[in-house]
Chain A
Amino acid sequence: MQEKPCRVLYNHPGKTMKEKIIRWVFTVLAFASLVFLLGIVIVLFKEGLPIFKIVSPLNFLFGKSWYPTYSPAEFGILPLILSSFLVTLGALIVCMPLGVGSALYLNELAGNRQKAILKPVIELLASIPSVVYGFFGVVVVTPYLQKTFNLPVGMCALNASLILGIMATPTVCSIAEDALNYVPHSFREASFAVGANRWQTLTQVVIPAAGSGISTAIILGMSRAIGETMTVLMVAGGSSAMPRSFFDPVRPMTAAIAAEMGEAPMGSDHYHALFAIALILFIITFIFNVVAEIISRRFRIKLGLSG
């Protein structure tokens, strides 16, 4: 609501040329991302849809064999979709307690000094390049899992889940922490005033109040995990068989696209199929983000923080 007076200030009639130009430049910059998004969506549809002339959408989504380079080729991406969901679910199991737990600690329990150390460290996790996570997975987690669970091969869905979970933790933590921060202090004071202790206040007042914000955090964390490419390419194993357990090597959608795009002849069926996978991935993450947005909007309304 503070914007309005500012706008009036800049909109005064005697604008100079310089102001006009600056205003114009920033308008273009602001709309640039819209243009990029539109461009990406158009390309995805244009390059992805032709595959449905070869294979029906139903057979594409629910086919169990992915043999894109044979003749006749088979374009069934169910194993890839299931792989993506499997590693995302695994990542969720890892990042939910880690992310929400650290957010609760930071917001409710940590003193200022601990906060000053912990927050930047958690944020640092987010800035590590995914290829470095991948290396860590290949060199440390893979042999460890192989030995611990006596697996034939350590590159599997569990491996990818663990690492993706760690990678998604900073996203979940910082958004969940914001949500906890948004809970007005008066809520806590009211709770204490009626004699509730800290634990009761936390579990019965603060968390329910921040609940939808925390859900948003988790969904965005999932969105991060399902879209991650380099790490799963390196540690998930890359097998396109139907996954049966967390110990199976899997091939998430992103890994299939990244690994195969370089060698798929441009304009071939395989090429279009990879774009169609990207399209489906885009739709999935889009749904995640819309749901997150709806929940977070409801959350803000609930706390009376503008609609």
Chain B
Amino acid sequence: MKKTILLFVAATLLFVQGVKASDRIVMEGSTTVLPIAQKTAEVYMDGNPQAQISVRGGGSSVGITSLIDGTCDIADASRSIKDTELEKAASRGVSPKAHVVAMDGIVLIVNPSNTVNGLTKQQAKDIFTGKVSNWSEVGGRNEKIVSISRDSSSGTFEAFGALVLGGAKVRPDALLQASNQAVVSIVSQTPGAIGYVGLGYVTGAVKSLEFEGVKASKETVLTGKYKVGRPLFMYTNGDPKGATKNFIDFVKSAEGQKIAEQEGFVGLK
């Protein structure tokens, strides 16, 4: 009986090893980076049939944790790695290396029926921290503001909180949503709603607002004129090697950057 178990365990280990040893890239992390990761992986695999890239979402922290645990080769992140994570990585002998793969602008969106066209930083902050609760206070109709935020641990929230709210707390009655799509979907259905999403997620169903008089676009984000922008990262363990290196190079290449643009982000080239 014991022998059977040993044999079984050995076979399982061999199988796992076998999969790991092949030419596969596992990529995991931020849902914001996901569209770029997915599309570039698809195009890359079309050009390199031997490559096998699996792409998963889950969130920036999930990706970085997996990288530290050694269960993925590339961690997608919409924020830079935190000191606590770096310490953890160091203790496991992992040295995360950042690759900026695109820029993202965070856009304030409202329902198309809303008459407001733009907000100042102060107005946006007042709305999301709870000082202002009616659209008439910022030049709109007499209508209750329904503020939609991302979950307090998402990368998009973190960037928005740092860049717009200056670290102040989001009003407790804000609706916290788990994904960019969910925010777009609620805002498009709710007349009084305001939310914020990555530039790549803005659709015709919602109206994007100017921020400090500047409309979010690829140019304004890249030049820094639009103030709510951030870099998007792919992290590898040390300098990438082999298949991972080829893929990262591809993402950074003109072709890869064009894909990022097509997905609604801002290419670096």
Per-residue 0/1 for B222-257: is the Cβ within 8 Å of any A Cβ (1 yes, 0 no)? 000000000000000000000000000000000000
Cα–Cα distance between A243 and B153 once the two chains are bound (Å): 22
Cα–Cα distance between A260 and B178 once the two chains are bound (Å): 8
Query: Which range contains the number of A residues in contact with the other chain?
Result: 35 or more
Per-residue 0/1 for A225-269: is the Cβ within 8 Å of any B Cβ (1 yes, 0 no)? 000000001100111111000001101000000111011111110
Contact, CB under 8 Å: B169 / A249: no
- Closest Cβ of chain B: how far from A228's Cβ, in Å? 15
Contact, CB under 8 Å: A265 / B192: no
Contact, CB under 8 Å: A240 / B172: yes
Cα–Cα distance between A262 and B150 once the two chains are bound (Å): 13
Contact, CB under 8 Å: A241 / B84: no
Sorted nearest first, the 6 A-B pairs with minimum C-beta distance are A262-B59, A263-B153, A241-B172, A241-B173, A263-B59, A238-B176
A143 contacts the other chain (CB 8 A): yes
> Which single residue of chain A is at the shortest CB-CB distance from B84?
A265
Contact partner of B154 (CB less than 8 A), chosen from A234, A248, A263, is: A263
Q: How many positions in chain B have a CB within 8 Å of any CB in the partner chain?
A: 38
Given contacts A153-B190, A240-B172, A259-B178, contact A138 B153 (CB under 8 A): no
- Closest Cβ of chain B: how far from A59's Cβ, in Å? 17
- Closest Cβ of chain B: how far from A216's Cβ, in Å? 34
Cα–Cα distance between A233 and B192 once the two chains are bound (Å): 21
- Closest Cβ of chain B: how far from A212's Cβ, in Å? 40
B62 contacts the other chain (CB 8 A): yes
**Complex interface: chain A residues within 8 A of B151 (CB):** 238, 259-260, 263
**Complex interface: chain A residues within 8 A of B59 (CB):** 262-263
In residues 43-77 of chain B, which contact A (Cβ within 8 Å)? 58-62, 64-65
**Complex interface: chain A residues within 8 A of B60 (CB):** 263
Show 12 A/B contacts (Cβ-Cβ < 8 Å), sorted by A.
A24-B1, A79-B172, A143-B189, A152-B144, A153-B190, A239-B173, A239-B176, A249-B173, A258-B178, A259-B178, A260-B151, A263-B60
By a beta-carbon cutoff of 8 Å, the part of chain B in contact with chain A is 1, 58-62, 64-65, 82, 84-85, 88, 144, 146, 151-155, 157-158, 167, 169, 171-178, 182, 185-186, 189-190, 192-193
Given contacts A68-B152, A263-B153, contact A21 B175 (CB under 8 A): no
Per-residue 0/1 for A6-17: is the Cβ within 8 Å of any B Cβ (1 yes, 0 no)? 000000000000
- Closest Cβ of chain B: how far from A130's Cβ, in Å? 15
By a beta-carbon cutoff of 8 Å, the part of chain A in contact with chain B is 21, 24, 65-70, 79, 138, 142-143, 146, 152-155, 233-234, 237-242, 248-249, 251, 258-260, 262-268, 270
> Which single residue of chain B is at the shortest CB-CB distance from A138?
B185
Contact, CB under 8 Å: B175 / A239: yes
Contact, CB under 8 Å: A67 / B65: no
Cα–Cα distance between A238 and B172 once the two chains are bound (Å): 10
Cα–Cα distance between A24 and B62 once the two chains are bound (Å): 39
Contact, CB under 8 Å: A153 / B152: no
Cα–Cα distance between A66 and B152 once the two chains are bound (Å): 10
**Complex interface: chain A residues within 8 A of B58 (CB):** 262
Contact, CB under 8 Å: A263 / B190: no
Contact, CB under 8 Å: A260 / B192: no
**Complex interface: chain B residues within 8 A of A65 (CB):** 172
**Complex interface: chain B residues within 8 A of A146 (CB):** 189-190
**Complex interface: chain B residues within 8 A of A258 (CB):** 178
Contact, CB under 8 Å: B177 / A67: no
Contact, CB under 8 Å: A266 / B61: yes
- Closest Cβ of chain A: how far from B70's Cβ, in Å? 13
**Complex interface: chain A residues within 8 A of B177 (CB):** 238, 259
Contact, CB under 8 Å: B178 / A67: no
Cα–Cα distance between A140 and B126 once the two chains are bound (Å): 32
Given contacts A24-B1, A262-B61, A265-B84, contact A154 B175 (CB under 8 A): no
Cα–Cα distance between A266 and B67 once the two chains are bound (Å): 12
Cα–Cα distance between A220 and B164 once the two chains are bound (Å): 46
Cα–Cα distance between A67 and B151 once the two chains are bound (Å): 10
Most buried by A among B64, B175, B189, B190: B175
Contact, CB under 8 Å: A67 / B152: yes
Given contacts A69-B152, A263-B61, contact A237 B175 (CB under 8 A): yes
**Complex interface: chain B residues within 8 A of A240 (CB):** 172, 176
> Which single residue of chain A is at the shortest CB-CB distance from B179?
A259
Contact partner of B61 (CB less than 8 A), chosen from A66, A143, A238, A264, is: A264
**Complex interface: chain B residues within 8 A of A241 (CB):** 171-173
Cα–Cα distance between A238 and B151 once the two chains are bound (Å): 9
Contact, CB under 8 Å: A152 / B61: no
